[in-house]
Structure 1
Amino acid sequence: MTLNIGIIGCGGIANGKHLPSLQKVEAVNLVGFCDIDIDKAHLAATEYGVESCEVYKDYKQLLANEAIDVVHVCTPNISHKEITVAALDAGKHVMCEKPMAKSTEEAQAMIDAAKRNNKKLTIGYQNRFRPDSQYLRKVTQRGDLGDIYFGKAHAIRRRAVPTWGVFLDEEKQGGGPLIDIGTHALDLTLWMMNNYQPASVMGSTFHKLGKKEDAANAWGSWNPEDFTVEDSAFGYIKMSNGATIMLESSWALNTLDEDEAKCTLSGTDGGADMKEGLRLNGEDFSKLYTTNVELDNKGVAFYDGEEDDEAEIEAQCWIDSIMNDTEPVVKPQEALVVTQILEAIYESARTGKAVYFN
């Protein structure tokens, strides 16, 4: 069995992650490439497509191709829901890049479309497939940390503002570092805690350093007039069982404590963090201990291959879930909760009040 895949959005995330990873999956043919900039679609097709692949400017034309089984949505956040729902209604399985959507309402519409069409839907949270994430997931599932009642989700950059594409456009993206990289850290933290029932959220967002002219930045100075999203955001999340999560995210912050797509966990029987590699801590025989885990690519919970690249493993596991009719590793219901919490942080920041969930 071979799956034919179409790519909608042939920009940075498609070329940097999806296309090179999918090209290494044996049961895949890359047959359709779509971008509003048709030149980008042609370039991607030339590098990654099969000989008979097609190029499109309108995603609806790609979806009309009945030979395509799976669609990867790699477009700005504003169009995730529209394209994903249309693809599912067209009978395609869908991987949508993170974040799932700009709002909970949009995310729910995506899930509803997957259910009514009996098609698979997943979201591109590739950090779950890192060796440290896989090891820590096994530790938490086995119960080594006990009841995990406190977590931190880390997504802090000192000066690394993405200045290309629409990253600085609030309307098209829905936000800045919180929805861009904070989403990865929150997904990891919730997954490790296996806790998807938020009770309340308090949040703060800041538009401070984005106003600076000629700022130091990894990808060159930004234009302050274009910087319409927050430059940092922080959330305090209380779960229904009383567990608490603190989320920190920034593209630009005056700090030396930089961490991205990492989490810290504290439980009744032990703790863990990804701050300097993967470290486990606890108490044994009335003594405290810290264990630094030596990681390689063996022992991944749902993959036995040799790749050590999380994007390649993500692609293989996603295709396997379709071929074997199993649940994808990143379930859409889990991604919806991430979107729900991010949306609540933004709402709390706007209103100055806590957001409560039923």
Structure 2
Amino acid sequence: MSKLKVGIIGCGAIAKNKHMPALMKKKDQVEVIAFCNRDRKKAEQIAKAFHIKEAQVYSDYHSLLANKDIDVVHICTPNLYHSPITVAALQAGKHVMCEKPMAINALEAAEMVQAAKESGKKLTIAFQNRFREDALLLKQSCETGELGDIYAAKAHAVRRRGVPTWGVFMDKELQGGGPLIDIGTHALDLTLWCMNNYEVHSVTASTFHELKQQNLTNPFGPWEPETFHVEDSAFAFIRMKNGAIIYLETAWALNTLDEREAMTTLFGTKGGAEMQRTSCGTHNELILNGEKHKHLYETRFQHAADIDFNQAETNTVADRELSQWINAIIEDTSPLVTPHQSLVVAQLVDAIYKSAETGETIYL
């Protein structure tokens, strides 16, 4: 079988540090042949960095999509461009992996889902945290019924200080929002996936922009308060149609000691589960708990903290994510992250922002 030909649109850090290293490990199945970036020099630089000598380089994504040799497109642009490029790529007959969030709003996310249906091509969104070892173990526990019926959950995406001062993260027009649409989507995706519940009834939420002056201890460097145009934290109460509830907390900057990013806590009829960081802060820890033999129990599982892509792991989260995606194309199976699941996350984000703006409960 011939190799799948891949094109990369958006040649920033996420393409360089996540997508390309994982794709280069799949040389038996894929060949990256094209790069596109509005600043053509960045496309040329990434091609050179990965020694792709005959790479085709573009500054206009339409030109890349017109290349009939390309089978698969990975979209790593700012959020504003996710939907138009994805729709165009699907219409051009390409399979698409798009970075999260799915789109800048739910309407554009729905257009992506429709384009995938009409084209017959595969679409997935890069919610890579599902491929962490603790997440896979938790999902297995949920599927085997170890927790029973999950009726309540907490979705955690909280940094004490961790405002991304590079790129366009604080640009509301290009990104759509702050930590909610950035890291909050990861927590929502993990929680909905583990609960296997995508039927949302209502959302009540608040967002805050309170710590823009407290910028001197940010690990990514201080920011200019006048350029901080998005929320620094968001909180939501989500009620599902079957009566289950989800509490979401997400922040780039919050005065708290409980930092948890892309994690979930689940409460079930037979047991519970909690994702945490170890006390030294270097490992993810999954704790299952419940009652057995007239005693309460806790079972702890520790895993390498592989949320960071800049590390020398032989089998990283990105490797597992990309392997599943490529195999889904080759074997004509569903990707682990489906368009419908990602659309529900986008709908929740819209509802949270709307509830925070209006002060009202939003019904879906």
TM-score range, shorter chain: over 0.9
Gaps of 5+ in 2: 278-284, 305-312
Whether the 8 Å CA contact 1:307–1:313 is kept in 2: the answer is no
Give the aligned partner of residue 299 of structure 1.
none
Which amino acid is 2:257 matched to? Answer: L
Whether the 8 Å CA contact 1:2–1:28 is kept in 2: the answer is yes
Deviation at 1:51, TM superposition (A): 3.0
Whether the 8 Å CA contact 1:232–1:252 is kept in 2: the answer is yes
| Structure 2 CA distance for aligned equivalents of residues 164 and 307 of structure 1 | 28
Could you say what secondary structure the match of 1:282 adopts? strand
| 1:104-161 Cα shifts (integer Å, max 9, x gaps) | 1111100111111100000000100011001110000011101100111110001110
Give the aligned partner of residue 330 of structure 1.
337
Gaps of 5+ in 1: 297-305
Superposed counterparts of 1:46-125, under 5 Å: 46-48=48-50, 50-125=52-127
Could you say what secondary structure the match of 1:274 adopts? strand
Which amino acid is 2:86 matched to? Answer: T
Give the aligned partner of residue 215 of structure 1.
216
Count of residues in correspondence between the two structures: 348
- 4+ runs of 1 displaced by more than 6 Å? none
Superposed counterparts of 1:218-233, under 5 Å: 218-233=219-234
Match of residue 175, structure 1, among 169, 174, 177: 177
Structure 1-normalised TM-score?
0.95
Give the aligned partner of residue 33 of structure 2.
31
Whether the 8 Å CA contact 1:120–1:322 is kept in 2: the answer is yes
Cα RMSD between the aligned structures? 1.4
Whether the 8 Å CA contact 1:22–1:315 is kept in 2: the answer is yes
Give the aligned partner of residue 6 of structure 1.
7
Whether the 8 Å CA contact 1:30–1:48 is kept in 2: the answer is no
Q: Relative to structure 1, is the Cα distance of residues 273 and 214 closer, same or farther in structure 2, using a 3 angstrom cutoff?
A: closer
Q: Relative to structure 1, is the Cα distance of residues 307 and 143 closer, same or farther in structure 2, using a 3 angstrom cutoff?
A: farther
Give the aligned partner of residue 358 of structure 2.
351
Give the aligned partner of residue 251 of structure 2.
250
| 1:322-348 Cα shifts (integer Å, max 9, x gaps) | 000000010010000011111100000
Which amino acid is 1:46 matched to? Answer: K
Could you say what secondary structure the match of 2:44 adopts? helix
| Structure 2 CA distance for aligned equivalents of residues 39 and 223 of structure 1 | 28
| Structure 2 CA distance for aligned equivalents of residues 77 and 50 of structure 1 | 27
Superposed counterparts of 1:252-331, under 5 Å: 252-276=253-277, 277-294=285-302, 307-331=314-338
Deviation at 1:164, TM superposition (A): 1.1
Whether the 8 Å CA contact 1:104–1:339 is kept in 2: the answer is yes
Structure 2-normalised TM-score?
0.93
Q: Relative to structure 1, is the Cα distance of residues 202 and 12 closer, same or farther in structure 2, using a 3 angstrom cutoff?
A: same
Which amino acid is 1:226 matched to? Answer: T
Which amino acid is 1:170 matched to? Answer: K
Which amino acid is 1:190 matched to? Answer: L
Give the aligned partner of residue 196 of structure 2.
194
Could you say what secondary structure the match of 1:46 adopts? helix
| 1:261-302 Cα shifts (integer Å, max 9, x gaps) | 110000000000111401000001221111112558xxxxxx
Q: Relative to structure 1, is the Cα distance of residues 205 and 294 closer, same or farther in structure 2, using a 3 angstrom cutoff?
A: closer
Deviation at 1:216, TM superposition (A): 1.9
Could you say what secondary structure the match of 1:209 adopts? coil
Give the aligned partner of residue 208 of structure 2.
206
